[in-house]
Chain A
Amino acid sequence: MVIKSTVKSITLAFMFLLCLTPLWANETHGESSENHEKKEFNVNEMIMHHIKDAHEWHLWGPDHGGTSIYLPIILIDGGLKTFSSSHFYHGEHKSAVDHKTHEEVSYVAGVGPATGYAMYHEKIYKLENGGLSFEDGHVHGAVKPFDMSITKNVVSLFVGAILILLIMGSVARFYKKNGAVAPKGIAKFLEPIVVMVRDNIAKENIDHHKYHKFVPYLLTIFFFIFINNLLGMIPFFPGGANLTGNITVTMVLAIFTLLITVFSGNKNYWKHIFATPGVPVALLPIMIPIEVVGILTKPFALMIRLFANMSAGHIIILALISIIFINQNAAWGALSVPMALFISVLELLVAFLQAFLFALLSALFIGAAVEEAHH
């Protein structure tokens, strides 16, 4: 009974916190739209600003002039150049006229050590003749230096990696010290998940004699995606970056699966691709390209699935909260906050489900690559 009521109160507290979180995420936009009443609240711009990568980590306050953590910028442009991104965010605001659409576009030119560079939509360009020229909404002709900056997503990646190391390290130490006993503490929480990945994901889909080799990879990818999905759901500082909703990150994860599938593929797997049994020779010129494209589309679908699911989740929550700011009336909160809460809770399920699916489908592809012939 005691446990039951504790769980209940924790769940309630959690729900309450989730209710509050959207307020955090959008406080800044409420203020900024009050500050300049003329400027219409642009939902599209606000949402894109939230789900895209940035060179600063915005904490609170209005968009420009609020409190942010300025992250280091590292450029390779005839040598290594490092400076704080505040030289851009507190830089010189400039504007240019688009050559095609004839609309005015504004960008920031760097000051101090960032002189000679400009930032437009979080991308860094080299200034030419002291300015940038635009064509059809894009920067035209400017050189982009190689940008290796530690952006918001990179910091979020570090936070996630450190969290995983701490959690997994403590669990590993527990088992090292105590051997295979009934787990305690955080190990108690993680053991069922690890066992689930091993039994329901690896063992079910990969040959019984070979699955051992792939369990570490599947566990890594599962916990990496799971922890980073959950971090993305926290709306304030160490979380809130849309890491698993960044297509580059999901692409790297999908490439890992592709490489493991290709390099662990056995004779049987390649035979099914280049000389599919039971297919007439005349059809092979059609079959081989299809099968080769098939190798690539599987990880491609993995990449798109994770990216689109997580981005869509963030977009839906932000869009629901935006209802208040579109109508400029706090009473709409009665509608939008419960709806955002509902989607937030649903996103917790999606965070787990997407990690599970990525690992499951990876196991399925690897399983198909190491399968022995049985006909």
Chain B
Amino acid sequence: MYGSIAAIGAGLAVLGAGLGIGRIGGSAMDAIARQPEASGKITTTMIIAAALIEGVALFGVVVGMLGGAK
């Protein structure tokens, strides 16, 4: 039973992170389309922001793993 509840939690974490990273990617594409010459800088900033969100999502995955491994 532990495993299934943990899986729902991990799924919710993935949902949030997916929405967040999707937004970042979309906005970065908009920005690059407007200013193609700044694409390098935009990409780096995008990766940093995506990494920060992903970090939070991975907390969810780790908690899911701890629950699932029981």
Which residues of A are at the interface with B, using a C-beta cutoff of 8 A?
A: 44, 48, 137, 200, 204, 301, 304-305, 307-309, 311-312, 315, 353, 356-357, 360-361, 364
Contacts and interface: CB of A to CB of B under 8 A. Distances in A.
A353 B47 CA distance: 9
15 contacts: A44-B68, A44-B69, A200-B44, A301-B55, A304-B58, A304-B59, A304-B62, A305-B51, A305-B54, A311-B65, A312-B58, A356-B47, A357-B47, A357-B51, A364-B48
Contacts of B61: 308, 312
Contacts of A356: 47
Contacts of A309: 54, 58
Interface in B21-70: 40, 44, 47-48, 51-52, 54-55, 58-59, 61-62, 65, 68-70
Contact of B44 (A204, A308, A315): A204
B33 to A, nearest CB: 22
Nearest to B40: A200
Contacts of A360: 44, 47-48, 51
A48 B68 CA distance: 11
A308 B69 contact: no
Contacts of A44: 68-69
A308 B63 CA distance: 10
Given A204-B44, A361-B48, A308 B68 contact: no
B24 to A, nearest CB: 14
A166 B25 CA distance: 39
Interface of B: 40, 44, 47-48, 51-52, 54-55, 58-59, 61-62, 65, 68-70
A48 B55 contact: no
Contacts of A357: 47, 51
B48 A308 contact: no
A284 B65 CA distance: 38
B58 A308 contact: yes
Contacts of A361: 48, 51
Given A200-B44, A204-B44, A361-B48, A304 B69 contact: no
A326 to B, nearest CB: 15
Nearest to A308: B58
A312 B58 CA distance: 9
Nearest to A297: B55
A308 B56 CA distance: 11
Contacts of A312: 58, 61
A355 B35 CA distance: 28
Contacts of A311: 65
Nearest to A357: B51
B43 to A, nearest CB: 10
Q: Which of B58, B59, B62 has the most CB of A within 10 A?
A: B58
Contacts of A301: 52, 55
Given A44-B68, A311-B65, A305 B44 contact: no
Contacts of B68: 44
Contacts of A315: 65
Nearest to B70: A137
A361 B65 CA distance: 25
B19 to A, nearest CB: 19
Contact of B55 (A137, A200, A305, A364): A305
Contacts of B65: 311, 315
A308 B13 CA distance: 13
Contacts of B54: 305, 309
B52 to A, nearest CB: 8
Nearest to B54: A305
A311 B61 CA distance: 10
A304 B52 CA distance: 11
Nearest to A356: B47
Contacts of B62: 304, 307-308
